[in-house]
Amino acid sequence: MGNQHMRHYRAHRPAPQPAREKPKASLSRRAIRYMGGFLLLMALFTLLSRAADGLTIPQVALAYPSKGTIDRTMTGFGKVEELSAQAVTTEPGLRVAGIGVKPGAVVEQGAPLFTLDAADLEDKLAQAREMLQRLDMDLQDRASRESLSAQDQARALQRANEDYAAAKSSGDKEVERAAKTLNEAKAKLNAAAPPAGELSALEAACAQTAEKLRLAEEELTRLQNELEEKVAQARKEAEEAQEDPDQREAQVREEYQPRLDEAGLQADAARQEKASADNALAAYTEASTQLQLLRDSVDAAQQNYDRAVESRENALRSASRQVEDAQRPQAQDSSGKKAELDREHQAQQVARLEALVKDGGVVRAPCSGTVTGVSLTVGMPTPDGTALLLAGEANGGVFTAQFPVELEKYLSPGDEAVIKLGSGRPPIEGLRLETVTVSPTDSGLLDVTVRPPEGVLAIGTAAELEVRRKSEEYPCRVPLSALHEDNGVYFLLVTQEKAGLLGTELTASRRDVTVLEKNETMAAIQQGDLDWGQGFLAASAKPVNTGDRIRLEVP
Amino acid sequence: MALLAGLAVLVCSPAVILVSGCIMDGDELRLYLSPVLLENRTSFASWSLLPQTPSLRSVVELLLDSPEFFHMFWNSIAITGGILLGQLLVGAPAAWGFARYRFPLRGPLFTLYLILMLMPFQVTMLSSYLALDRMRLNDTLWAVILPGAFSTFPVFIMYRFFRAIPEAIIESARLDARNAFQIFWHIGVPLGSAGIVSALVLGFLESWNLIEQPMAFLKNKTLWPLSLYLPNIGLSDAGPAFAGAVLTLAPAFLVFLSGRDHLEQGIVASAVKE
């Protein structure tokens, strides 16, 4: 029955429809889908990039400067040493007669340590006394010499002053005399001197008269020549006219005679005038000769005066130099003081030797303690230095620890210190540093000593010394972990806002600071290096450099 | 044909260089670009289409280590989206009004639209700045969106398409007692969709590449679009710059593909001046 239904169904079932094909999306639709996908991808990468950025940006904590001290705790290791090791000395060069102690022996104060040879001691004492006496005599001689020298100097000064006064007096007199003579010669000269211009007037007169005479003689000569010419001409004319030439000549001569006479008279007058002028000039010249003599005498007087002045100056100069020489201070001579010091030293040596002699040559212990070293040999002279070492008490002593020399500026006497013993023993507190010195054996270490209470630590006990030092209070301290260094310059990282593409960003900015003091954890910086209320980057999970973007931790 | 192929290769070469540059290693980029980007220029830059040492480091660095790139990307999306929305809301009704209605001063007003369309940005920059400053919109995204939204170029594109709608259809709609908005919405927009899409595509391409307006009106760097991502490219960021350029190109390329048909129609329409 079922199979019939199935056959009937299969025969009459409708034919299956062919599958419809999906229409292919156009390029524009695909582009729109791709655009949507692109925007989704960009959104996804936006989130991823912000997440990555958030992971890479270091998250930092901001801190602020605090007020406080820069405490420093320094530790060094050391041990307890004997409190005092006193050196026992005596005069060097004294023969040792006997040694009463050995190293390690415990002695009381005043106990005999060693004995010196008495005879040798006496001999050394005598020598010392003789030396002292010599020094005394030397001192006396020196004093005497100094006294005489002073007297001589005073006398020389006095004489120099006297010579100076005498030279001045004598010189003044000579100068005064020469001045007087000069003045007299000048007076005579002034009295005899002719008026100014007289010579020139006389010479002018002579010249004038000479000229006049010359002119007169020339005129006369001219007239004579003219006369002769006229005469000759007249004679000639007369001869030509067959007249008497002599008569004609006589006429001419008679005509010219008055003129000749006049010219002759003028010539004679001029000649007389000239003679008078010459006589006056001659008289003047003679007077000038006398005047010259007066001038010469004035010159001579002047020279005498100058010589007198120069002579006085020379004498005074010489005398003043002698006075200066006499006043010159003597060079400092400290040999007297040295001699006194030598004498004093010698006196002390004599006293020491006398004390030894008085005690029978026995050297005793200056304090109680233990003999730690003996530098003596029986029969040999005592050394120049330590003869015997005497240590202090058996217990107590001083604790000496060593520190690096770089800590010298932080360690000073009076600083608080604690000795830590370890092994469960309680530390010794309340101590103060006694000395801080550079170790004599190693210049890179410091020897720091403290004195522990007596009876607490045995000699040789090793322990650790902890020194605590409080500094002054600083207004501005920062953790050392926040401090960075670059080429010797310290700086802090502070926040700086910067406008970026993602908005206001915080970046790490460098701020140079001056470090005043620091210890292992804190550093004090100069006030003012940071602005008021400004924080700095204290801690970060990742390293932060200048310019890096940062995020602040939310407290 | 060969000439066209050669020209096509020449035109496409910058895009090819971009793609090859973004998968190039940093050392190789420095080798090719240092003659250009270094201060003492000694020779010309060189290039190789196939990188010798391909590397996706620049892409990874851009995608995972440059959140500012994505910030600027979404700024560009916001600016472009705002401008396109504004053009749709303002320009389409304006184009419909110019195309289908007669009103006083229609002609001079349309001419004014054309003149404004032809003016370069530098001419209107100062007046725009002063107006935006008075409205207290400077240094906000609205300073770039609003001037773009009220741009006259999409009006011109859409106008041509709205003009092509037969008047009979409009009449029949009026007879069906449709009001003006209904006619615009039910008939104008569907029939003018080609013009609207082409205007939007051109508007996208223009607003996606805005540089002058953001530089002039946006001082806050958080508002800068992608076009200002790397104003100064140096040798150290050449790789991310290439990768960023490729990613910047992608949306414009996809938009072009999606609206290519309508774009061709829009270009033809814009070529015909009335």
Read off the pLDDT of residues A244-293 as tens digits, 9 standing for 90 and up.
Answer: 888 888 988 999 899 999 999 999 999 999 999 999 888 887 777 888 89
Q: Tell me how many helices (H) and strands (E) chain A has.
A: 6, 23
A331 compared with A215, residue with greater pLDDT = A215
Read off the pLDDT of residues A126-170 as tens digits, 9 standing for 90 and up.
Answer: 999 999 999 999 999 999 998 999 899 999 999 999 999 999 999
Residue given tokens 């004997």 in the structure block: A82
Nearest to B258 among A32, A39, A53 (CB): A32
The nearest CA of chain A is from the CA of B259 a distance in Å of: 6
Query: Which residues in chain B touch residue A56, judged by CB atoms under 8 angstroms apart?
Result: 65
Query: Which residues in chain A touch residue B224, judged by CB atoms under 8 angstroms apart?
Result: 501
In 3D space, the residue among B170, B153, B148, B143 whose CA is nearest the CA of residue B94 turns out to be: B153
**Phi then psi dihedrals of residue A2, to 5 deg:** -65, -40
Q: How far apart are CA B160 and CA A245, in angstroms?
A: 169
Query: Which residues in chain A touch residue B260, judged by CB atoms under 8 angstroms apart?
Result: 27-28
Once rounded to an integer, what is the mean pLDDT over residues A441-470?
A: 84
**Phi then psi dihedrals of residue A86, to 5 deg:** -90, 135
Read off the pLDDT of residues B102-126 as tens digits, 9 standing for 90 and up.
Answer: 889 999 999 998 898 888 889 989 9
What does A530-547 look like in DSSP terms, one character per residue? S-TT--EEEEESS---TT
Q: In which region does residue B68 sit, left (phi positive, over 0), alpha (psi from -120 to 50) or beta (all else)?
A: alpha
Nearest to A49 among B70, B224, B251 (CB): B70
Under an 8 A CB cutoff, do A49 and B69 touch? yes
- Asked if residue B134 has pLDDT above 50, the reply is yes
Please give the pLDDT value at position A458: 73
- The whole-model pTM stands at 0.53
Using the Cβ of B221 and the Cβ atoms of chain A, whether some distance falls under 8 Å is answered with yes
- Say if residues A387 and A363 touch (Cβ distance below 8 Å): yes
Read off the pLDDT of residues A501-555 as tens digits, 9 standing for 90 and up.
Answer: 777 888 999 999 999 988 888 999 988 888 878 889 887 778 888 888 888 887 6
Cα separations in angstroms, A303 against A172, A173, A182, A189, A292: 16, 16, 9, 16, 16
- Say if residues B84 and B74 touch (Cβ distance below 8 Å): no
What does the angle CA A401 – CA A403 – CA A404 come to, to the nearest 5 degrees? 160
Under an 8 A CB cutoff, do B257 and A42 touch? no
Radius of gyration over alpha carbons of chain B, in Å?
23
Query: Which residues in chain A touch residue B222, judged by CB atoms under 8 angstroms apart?
Result: 499-503
- Enumerate the β-bridge partners of residue A437: A447
- Asked if residue B155 has pLDDT above 80, the reply is yes
Mutate to test the interface with A, among B56, B69, B70 (most CBs of A within 10 A): B70
In 3D space, the residue among B34, B50, B98 whose CA is nearest the CA of residue B238 turns out to be: B34
Cβ-based interface (< 8 Å): residues of A facing B: 27-32, 34-35, 38-39, 42, 45-46, 48-50, 52-53, 56, 499-503
Please give the pLDDT value at position A553: 80
Nearest to B67 among A28, A35, A502 (CB): A502
Three-state SS string across A222-244, please? Answer: HHHHHHHHHHHHHHHHHHHCCCC
Please give the pLDDT value at position A202: 87
Mutate to test the interface with B, among A46, A501, A502, A505 (most CBs of B within 10 A): A501
Please give the pLDDT value at position A2: 47
Hey, which bits of B117-273 come out as E strands?
A: none
Under an 8 A CB cutoff, do B70 and A32 touch? no
Please give the pLDDT value at position B51: 85
- Say if residues B86 and B145 touch (Cβ distance below 8 Å): yes
Token code pair at residue A313: 């100056």
| Percentage, residues of chain A above pLDDT 90 | 43
